[in-house]
Structure 1
Amino acid sequence: MTDADLVVIAHRGFAGVNPENTVGAVRAAASRADRVELDAVACADGTPIVFHDARLDSGPESRGITDGTGTVADHPPETVTAATVRGSGERVPTLDRLVAETAVPLDVELKRPGTSVRRGSLPAAERTAARERWQPFVDRVLDELGDRDVRFSSFCEGALAAVRERDSSVPLAPLCRNLDVGRELAARYDADAIHPSLAAVRAGDVPTDRTVNVWTIRTWHEARDAVASGADGLIADYPGLTRWL
């Protein structure tokens, strides 16, 4: 693979140099990446919000990256979107605002539909219920994205199943820490890609029948290791990490 063939995906809009998951970050990353990755979660009324953590402030699964407080899933959208990210002046956006104000191709990670969810591959008996928990949120996300160039990823089988229930052709990429799980979910939901961790590709036999984009790349030598392991793309926190390949 040459450097020109390698796909660079800006993780949360290159979160190492920009206020993550914001309109400003996506705009800043657009000229230095092939695609931009972002996170989609539901707030109290189901509105899709572009945010990663469970809470606006610090707490379980949360780093305290905004000046807001409380759990995203408990707040209405006007409360969530009033929060600014790390004092940058960039506010937490709704998905529809981000779509309206940017144009770059997106990788959207479906993280939380407002209820508790399970990650990984599920027993057959649990798959329908998992999909149904995700379906209302996934339908709203798809509606708001319209005809945008987008690929959906998730650690949660229910999210992948809900996308497939709605659209048989939209690109999918299971997120995984274990390549066997990624392969299993990719086959089950006809995914064109797998998004494994760097540790997974270092330890495993990287698939050659699907695109493999590796997360989260933070240094030039991690980029080099990912490519040496067979990565087709890098989900990176910083631009310019391919310079020494």
Structure 2
Amino acid sequence: VVPTVPPGTMEVTAHRGFGKVFPENTVTAARRAAEHADRVEVDVRRCGSGELVASHFERVRFTTDGKGRIGELSADELASLSVQGSGEGIPLVADVADAVPADTGVMFDLKGPALADDTIAVAESIDNRVVVSSFYSDALWEARAAADDLALSYHFDVRLERNATTARLLDCEYVSPHWTVALCTDVVERAQEAGRKVEPWPVTSTAVARLLDRKGVDGIVATTPRIGRREVDGLGYAEALTEALPAVERLRALTP
């Protein structure tokens, strides 16, 4: 059982295993991220030989020294690549999940449909607290059909009313808007009033974390272990606002 987070603090999920610092979605990243986070996120895709592998991108050139698509390459071929120069290949999702200590949660982020059943099989093989997340509602519907009691997290875009309805129908425990949406709209308040926890993404600085803490979110999906509770508490609100304001203004300009 993962220890509960003290009142007034935010849970921290390691985005791609803190992929800004560690080789993202690797076994090493999962182990290292678990030292700093309440939960480790693992991206889920299906490779050409049928196994579930951990990769955010479909094209391997974005994170490795290889070429091709995840869906065209075998698990052995993917394992032979080097993620971000680490010498470590793209691993099986099961191996990444096994690397996370039992007292740290795991978030499986489905990168498309037809992944839920096999992901749930992996989840059932570990003792960690599990959340299944996705931008794709079809993927979450498949997960919900497979497991009534599974904790789901729906990644929001800017279609907030539509997203909120989908989250309600899916009975999601969590919703995950972009951090700028969380700061610029009433999505946090409305989701919490509906009984859902709000965990914005991808939080890249302590300034943004500080603003979200003040907003009252339940957790954050962070890109680096440097975004921890001590750093968030030590940053002044005015300083945080000054650092984050340009991104907030860009979102306001794009939002109808």
Report if TM-score (shorter chain) is over 0.5: yes
TM-score by length of 2: 0.80
CA shift, 1:101, in A, is 3.2
Does 2:138 match 1:158?
Answer: yes
- C-alpha separation in 1, matches of 2:157 and 2:67: 30
Q: Which residue number corresponds to residue 118 of structure 2?
A: 140
Q: Which residue number corresponds to residue 175 of structure 2?
A: 194
Between Structure 1 and Structure 2, how many residues are aligned?
217
Does 2:116 match 1:80?
Answer: no
Q: Is the 8 A contact 1:182 1:195 kept in 2?
A: no
- C-alpha separation in 2, matches of 1:195 and 1:244: 20
Q: 1:168 to 1:3 in 2, by over 3 A?
A: closer
Q: Which residue number corresponds to residue 204 of structure 1?
A: 185
Give the helix-richer structure, 1 or 2.
2
Q: 1:239 to 1:192 in 2, by over 3 A?
A: same
- C-alpha separation in 1, matches of 2:25 and 2:80: 14
Cα-to-partner distance string for 1:109-138 (whole Å, 9 max, x where unaligned): 1003xxxxxxxxxxxxxxxxxxxxx34x21
CA shift, 1:93, in A, is 0.6
Q: Is the 8 A contact 2:12 2:221 kept in 1?
A: yes
SS for the counterpart of 2:202 is strand
- C-alpha separation in 2, matches of 1:219 and 1:173: 22
SS for the counterpart of 1:31 is coil
SS for the counterpart of 1:238 is coil
Structure 2: which 5+ residue stretches go unaligned?
234-256
Does 2:153 match 1:173?
Answer: yes
Q: Is the 8 A contact 1:66 1:87 kept in 2?
A: yes
| Range with bigger deviation, 169-178 or 140-149 | 140-149
Give the strand-richer structure, 1 or 2.
1
Does 2:248 match 1:244?
Answer: no
Q: 1:19 to 1:3 in 2, by over 3 A?
A: farther
SS for the counterpart of 1:215 is coil
- C-alpha separation in 2, matches of 1:181 and 1:226: 23
Q: Which residue number corresponds to residue 106 of structure 2?
A: 106
TM-score by length of 1: 0.83
Amino acid at match of 2:37: A
- C-alpha separation in 2, matches of 1:101 and 1:10: 14
Q: Is the 8 A contact 1:182 1:196 kept in 2?
A: no
> Over the residues paired in the alignment, what is the CA RMSD in angstroms?
1.8
CA shift, 1:2, in A, is 7.2
Q: What is the identity percentage for the equivalent residue pairs of Structure 1 and Structure 2? A: 29
CA shift, 1:214, in A, is 0.7
CA shift, 1:142, in A, is 1.1
The partner residue of 1:55 within 52, 59, 62 is 59
Q: Which residue number corresponds to residue 125 of structure 1?
A: none
Q: Which residue number corresponds to residue 245 of structure 2?
A: none
CA shift, 1:47, in A, is 1.2
Q: Is the 8 A contact 2:25 2:96 kept in 1?
A: no
CA shift, 1:78, in A, is 1.1
Q: 1:110 to 1:35 in 2, by over 3 A?
A: same
Q: 1:5 to 1:228 in 2, by over 3 A?
A: closer
Structure 2 counterparts to residues 198-237 of structure 1, below 5 A: 198-205=179-186, 206=188, 207-208=191-192, 209-237=195-223
